Structure 1
Amino acid sequence: MTALEAVSAYHPPQRVPIASLAGELGLSDTQVRMFHRYYGLAEVLREPTGTITDLMLNAAAKLTDLRGREHQVKYVVQARTLQAIAPYPEDPLHDVVDALGLRHAQAFAVTQHACASGLLAVELCGRLLAEDGDPDAVALIFVGEKAFTPSARMIPGTALMGEGCAAVLIGSGDRDRMLSYASATHGEFNAGLSLSAEMSMEFQQRYPDALTEVILAAVARAGITAADLALVLPHNVNRVSWVRVARKAGIPVDRLFLDNMPVTGHCFCADSFLNYVSAREKGRLKPGDHYLMAAVGLGSTFSAMVFEH
């Protein structure tokens, strides 16, 4: 069974107040106040000098369970939101593979689900490892990116992007077993940030129901109910949208792990995994607890995954 054997989180040293980003993002004072007071955002993570290669290597350095098991790594996957993450001919993922001594592994990226690609990568790696039939083989997934262009630093009216990164070791053990996965793509919104004003409004209206639908589907496939979830590890877009979804899904709001949202920003595919590490460190997960990761990718894909701790 697919399991999270280990997860590490790298938080860059710089936290930038959102008010200081107003100029570069073209935000008015009113918009800054909206992000702060209404959406619950205060700061975003920034790696001031490092590259995306540095982000991945810093996350890998904190993944202590990888040490001594490099020979067991069969797949190295970068799950990301952006299709272009570095200027040609740079190849950050293969630079990381070389630096970690993993050239024997198959390395590739998945971007098809945008910010939900992290959950896609977990499900895909689980399938690949199961088909290979080697009980000792593992996959290494990297999630988290650089907000290296103006358009990558903000989802207008929704979220501000951060630069946290996580490394995830996928195996077939008993630790943090994946019980279910549900995903739905609403292709009529495929234009993402380029949606017309009318379609953008329709997307905002349908968003809570669409996310609730996949959450409840994942919960049902896991053989539990929403009330059985001890914790929800969300993507860190904003607080107000998650409160609305939790109420629709019948999940008590206090089971939403929102601690990181004000201080990290929306770290592309990495949010749920960064939240997992924080929740574990704070003692919010106990053995046997059921918890859910959820994410939405522009384009638009809604995904949810249930685990047993």
Structure 2
Amino acid sequence: MTALAAVATYLPDRRVPIEELADGLDLTPMQVRLFRRFHMLSDVCRDPDATPLDLLLAAVSNLDALRGQEHRVRYVLYARTFPVVVPYPLNPLHALCRLLGLDQAVAFTVTHHACATGLLAIDVAGRLLASDPDPDAYALVLAGEKAFTRDAQLVPETSIFGEGASACLIQHSGPRDRLLSYAANQRGEFDDELSDDTAKFQEEYHSSLADAILAAVDRAGLDLADLALILPHNVNLVAWQRLCRRIGYPVARVLLDNVPLTAHVFCADAFVNYTTAHARGLLHPGDRYLVAAAGAGRGATFSAMVFEH
């Protein structure tokens, strides 16, 4: 059974108030107030001098469990929101493997689920490890991108992207953070919906994510009440308030504290929230918790995973 062996993240110290981003994003004063007062977005993490490779290396440097175990890493997966994040011939993933002595690993990028690709990467890593002949093999799942274009900085009327990165060490089986279920609700009709049919996407958003969450809980053989915590994607607070009302889950048990501080950190949200939950002692042995994510681009994907801590 797939398990998380260790999780580490990196968030830049520099946090930019959303008001300072208004001119570059062509936001009106009313739109800025909407983000701050309605969506509860306050600051955005940014590291203007860091490259994508710098962000990933910073996250891996915090992954203490990897030190001395590099030889056990069989696969390195880079979960990305965008298919292309650097100009050719740069390749931050392969550069990272060379720098960290992971040349023996099979390294590749996963992008197909946009901001929900982090969960897809965990699922793919688990499948690869399940078929690997070495029971002690690891997979390393990375996430982290630059807010390098307007599309990579803003989800219209919904959220603002911040910068950061995460590194997650995956094993085939382990004593904690075992994956119980995974569900992905893919909506191919929302191809390029952010520019063509925003209203329809917003209308379907909550029901589609709710379906994924309920499917994952059901596949784990649980009820919503059995979940100690939900680790969300950090899109905005009001979206989660509405979703919790829809599914009948207490919003107080959704870890939303990072939303005003980091905004939406691409595929790294789940791991950022995991490290916060772990640091605060919010998860206890045997607790079941759910990780949720939504991604939009070439179609829309709504995903959820249930773990046992």
Scaled by the length of structure 2, what TM-score is found? Answer: 0.98
Q: Runs (4+) of structure 1 moved beyond 3 Å?
A: none
1:51 aligns with 2:51: yes
| Matching residue of 2:187 | 186
Check whether the contact 1:234–1:256 (CA below 8 A) recurs between aligned residues.
yes
- Map 1:168-179 onto structure 2 (within 5 A): 168-171=168-171, 172-179=173-180
Per the alignment, in what secondary structure is the counterpart of residue 151 of structure 1? coil
Looking at structure 1, the residues matched to 260 and 23 of structure 2 have their Cα atoms a distance apart, in angstroms, of: 20
Looking at structure 2, the residues matched to 192 and 105 of structure 1 have their Cα atoms a distance apart, in angstroms, of: 36
Per the alignment, in what secondary structure is the counterpart of residue 228 of structure 2? strand
The alignment-based identity, stated in percent, is 56
Looking at structure 2, the residues matched to 250 and 193 of structure 1 have their Cα atoms a distance apart, in angstroms, of: 28
1:289 aligns with 2:287: yes
| Matching residue of 2:234 | 236
The amino acid across from 2:14 in the alignment is: Q
Looking at structure 1, the residues matched to 268 and 247 of structure 2 have their Cα atoms a distance apart, in angstroms, of: 23
1:125 aligns with 2:104: no
Looking at structure 1, the residues matched to 64 and 147 of structure 2 have their Cα atoms a distance apart, in angstroms, of: 27
1:206 aligns with 2:194: no
| Matching residue of 1:257 | 255
Looking at structure 1, the residues matched to 228 and 141 of structure 2 have their Cα atoms a distance apart, in angstroms, of: 25
CA deviation vs aligned residue, 1:136-165 (integer Å, no higher than 9, x gap): 000001112111112210001000000011
Check whether the contact 2:176–2:285 (CA below 8 A) recurs between aligned residues.
no
Check whether the contact 1:126–1:170 (CA below 8 A) recurs between aligned residues.
yes
1:98 aligns with 2:102: no
CA deviation vs aligned residue, 1:185-214 (integer Å, no higher than 9, x gap): 11110114332xxx2211111111110011
| Matching residue of 1:72 | 72
| Matching residue of 2:143 | 143
The amino acid across from 1:215 in the alignment is: I
| Matching residue of 1:167 | 167
| Matching residue of 1:267 | 265
| Matching residue of 1:18 | 18
Looking at structure 1, the residues matched to 98 and 247 of structure 2 have their Cα atoms a distance apart, in angstroms, of: 44
Check whether the contact 2:193–2:201 (CA below 8 A) recurs between aligned residues.
no
- Map 1:17-36 onto structure 2 (within 5 A): 17-36=17-36
The amino acid across from 2:161 in the alignment is: M
Cα distance, 1:58 vs structure 2: 0.4
Check whether the contact 1:144–1:269 (CA below 8 A) recurs between aligned residues.
yes
Looking at structure 1, the residues matched to 158 and 198 of structure 2 have their Cα atoms a distance apart, in angstroms, of: 11
Looking at structure 2, the residues matched to 95 and 250 of structure 1 have their Cα atoms a distance apart, in angstroms, of: 46
Looking at structure 2, the residues matched to 224 and 54 of structure 1 have their Cα atoms a distance apart, in angstroms, of: 40
The amino acid across from 2:184 in the alignment is: S
Check whether the contact 1:227–1:250 (CA below 8 A) recurs between aligned residues.
no
The amino acid across from 2:223 in the alignment is: T
Q: What is the alpha-carbon root mean square deviation over aligned residues? A: 0.8
| Matching residue of 2:84 | 84
Q: Which runs of 5+ in 1 are unaligned?
A: none
The amino acid across from 1:300 in the alignment is: A
1:153 aligns with 2:153: yes
The amino acid across from 1:84 in the alignment is: V
Per the alignment, in what secondary structure is the counterpart of residue 276 of structure 2? helix
Looking at structure 1, the residues matched to 193 and 168 of structure 2 have their Cα atoms a distance apart, in angstroms, of: 27
The amino acid across from 1:203 in the alignment is: F
2:217 pairs with one of 210, 216, 219: 219
| Matching residue of 1:246 | 244
Q: Which runs of 5+ in 2 are unaligned?
A: none
The amino acid across from 1:176 in the alignment is: D
Cα distance, 1:283 vs structure 2: 1.2
Cα distance, 1:41 vs structure 2: 0.5
Check whether the contact 1:14–1:48 (CA below 8 A) recurs between aligned residues.
no
Scaled by the length of structure 1, what TM-score is found? Answer: 0.98
Count of residue pairs brought into register by the alignment: 306
Check whether the contact 1:77–1:109 (CA below 8 A) recurs between aligned residues.
yes
Tell me which moved more, 152-161 or 186-195.
Answer: 186-195
